[in-house]
Structure 1
Amino acid sequence: MTRDEVLVARGLRKAYGDRLAVQEVSLALRAGEVLGLLGPNGAGKSTTVGMICGLTTPDAGTVTLAGGVSLASDEAGYKRRIGLVPQDIALYEELPARMNVALFGALYGLASEQLKRRTDEVLAMVGLSDRANDRPATFSGGMKRRLNIACALVHDPEVLLLDEPTAGVDPQSRNAIFDNLEMLKAAGKALIYTTHYMEEAERLADWLVIVDHGRVVASGTQAELFARLPAAQTLHVEIAGEPDDAALAGLPGVTRTGQRLDIRVTDIGRDTGPVLAALAERGVQVRGLASARATLEDVFLTLTGRQLRD
């Protein structure tokens, strides 16, 4: 474990009968960093999160916090440093929002004055101060998600695990959650974030781990993962007339649709000039030019395939 790492998981493995849900998953999380944990349905994301937070016992592997603290060495101390926002809403629907947060804080041993202060702080952070005395049964889905986050933060953990925290919420609540997470990151918290929404991972994640069939198939920064694509950017070229298809065939990575050419390149700045020169040599008249870069979804589908996962 390096000096700025707050959590390191090594060789995590979990089987349910004959099915290996997680196989040799390793990852490291640093202070002030969001790690995006991505994968298709059934890839092992939630099982991995469960092992990291101590809800699921791994068959093999270790998870260690800074200072060498682990579930094996100090379970209570370990769990006090972890906050979990589960995939399924975990609230007492008939208790007021304030009591929900206070209950979770009391379970972590917060004293009365500290508990009141922290309860007020986290409810304000998630925008629920004015509904603190209302029951979650009266809340929208987005409000329940935000209250779940408040419950996970009341004991001020170093590490926050969020398992699809924006599932089923409206755009306003989603953006409020993003703002909360970016504020936590700026404050030095370490976050693990699982999601099926690639645009969320693109916005939030500093480091990405993609799992499939229980194994890590890729990890790195977004730039490092984009570099694994055979072509990470596309030139969209509008042409005049009907050029000779045989001439176009000499250009690599070209797809023609009517009078539009889609040309896959690795670097727009470097490759645009040579592509335009090659078209001019072939007598192709260019009427318009646009470009687009690959998305994280392109990377994800390249690594995990397009087969449905139900």
Structure 2
Amino acid sequence: MLEISSPRGIIGLLRQRGEEMDVIQVSGFSKNYGALQAVKHVSFTVAEGSVFGILGPNGAGKTTTMECMIGLKNRTAGKITVLGLDPEKHRHELFSDVGVQLQETVYQSAAKVFELCQLFSSMYKKPLDYRNLLDRFDLASKTKSSIGSLSGGQRQKLAIVLALIANPKIIFLDELTTGLDPGARREIWTYIRRLQSEGRTIIMTTHYMEEASLLCDQICLINQGEIVARGTVDEVITQAQIDLVITFETDGDVRSLLKDLPKMGHMKQEDSVVTIYTSSEETLTDLILKLSAASIPYRKIKITYPELEEAFLKLVNPTMKGAVS
């Protein structure tokens, strides 16, 4: 039996999309802080109704990029449009179309949940009913609670509620699940999927590779202010050029028989377990044909595809080897 240890093949089929309009365009964008060039010549587009992830290590320029996309900071060079408008020049026009949750936002701990929701509602001409939003995000029982009494997961759900009060077309989420326990993080993922199912476009920064793999239609990986890879999760993994790993068990030494397998990087055998590193799935077919032709029995054959975390580590540190042994 062949085992494929990655859910992305199924996810990819579920995410097949028709032709879409780009609601955000970033071209040659740079941002300097004095002599420090924080973001360097970044370009990408975001399709309507998609989840777009901006990934990178601490200090890579993720939050700076997001802040310039919403017009909170002025860019040094390049062009950014959101719904066809420059966010620096048209923040007022975009105000109701864009919802924002920034990582560094801090609210007074003594403030009540309903007070904060009412404050945000007062900013918009046609706000959504915050009571319905609180109910939808399982916060109805916390309406009169203070912000300081909420758990981390509840505070993040409230951040989404506040970002949704304007009924925006685009939502920016900056490190939304940082610091949450795994259960709370997965609950937030469910809400993000629901928002996308409504046709909203979501731009998110994240440190979590699993989060990006499960949620994002497209990602860009930023390191030291520059894009080092972009595309779908599978495309970024391909750009990292990390080997697939084939393992199986057999009786006897098969290293001589298999040493000339096409596209194989290297192979090792420890007792009955054989491990092959290869750049192509075709190696699996060639392997099975060789073993069968030599009448060598094999069992527990498995192919493991590289994950986004491996690609991330290699792309931000190009000296890493392609095969992980």
TM-score calculated relative to the size of structure 2: 0.83
State how far apart, in whole Å, the 2-side matches of 1:77 and 1:89 are. Answer: 23
Range with greater deviation from structure 2 (5-14 or 231-240)? 231-240
Question: Among 275, 284, 296, which residue is 1:262 paired with?
Answer: 275
Specify the alignment match of 2:323 in structure 1.
Answer: none
Q: Offset of 1:56 from its aligned partner?
A: 1.7
Contact 1:54–1:79 (Cα < 8 Å) also in 2: no
What is the one-letter code of the residue matched to 2:115? M
Range with greater deviation from structure 2 (87-96 or 30-39)? 87-96
Specify the alignment match of 2:61 in structure 1.
Answer: 44
Q: Offset of 1:82 from its aligned partner?
A: 1.6
Contact 1:90–1:148 (Cα < 8 Å) also in 2: no
Residues 283-294 of structure 1 aligned to structure 2 (within 5 Å): 285-294=297-306
SS class of match (1:70):
coil
Q: Using a 3 Å threshold, how does the CA distance of structure 1 residues 254 and 288 change in structure 2: closer, same or farther?
A: farther
Residues 65-214 of structure 1 aligned to structure 2 (within 5 Å): 65-66=82-83, 68-107=84-123, 109-110=124-125, 115=127, 117-214=128-225
State how far apart, in whole Å, the 2-side matches of 1:231 and 1:172 are. Answer: 30
State how far apart, in whole Å, the 1-side matches of 2:195 and 2:189 are. Answer: 10
State how far apart, in whole Å, the 1-side matches of 2:237 and 2:293 are. Answer: 31
SS class of match (2:193):
helix
State how far apart, in whole Å, the 1-side matches of 2:88 and 2:260 are. Answer: 62
Q: Which ranges in structure 2 are unaligned for 5 or more consecutive residues?
A: 1-18, 321-325
TM-score calculated relative to the size of structure 1: 0.87
- Given the alignment of the two structures, is residue 29 of structure 1 paired with residue 46 of structure 2, yes or no? yes
Q: Using a 3 Å threshold, how does the CA distance of structure 1 residues 28 and 254 change in structure 2: closer, same or farther?
A: same
State how far apart, in whole Å, the 2-side matches of 1:138 and 1:72 are. Answer: 36
% identity of equivalent residues:
28
State how far apart, in whole Å, the 1-side matches of 2:150 and 2:77 are. Answer: 40
Write out per-residue CA displacement over residues 262-294 of structure 1, whole angstroms, 9 at most, x where no aligned residue: 2234454x4322112334667865343122111
Number of residue pairs aligned between Structure 1 and Structure 2: 299
SS class of match (1:91):
coil
Q: Which ranges in structure 1 are unaligned for 5 or more consecutive residues?
A: none
Q: Using a 3 Å threshold, how does the CA distance of structure 1 residues 103 and 81 change in structure 2: closer, same or farther?
A: same
State how far apart, in whole Å, the 1-side matches of 2:225 and 2:295 are. Answer: 51
Q: CA RMSD in A?
A: 2.5
Residues 275-290 of structure 1 aligned to structure 2 (within 5 Å): 275-279=287-291, 285-290=297-302
State how far apart, in whole Å, the 1-side matches of 2:238 and 2:40 are. Answer: 25
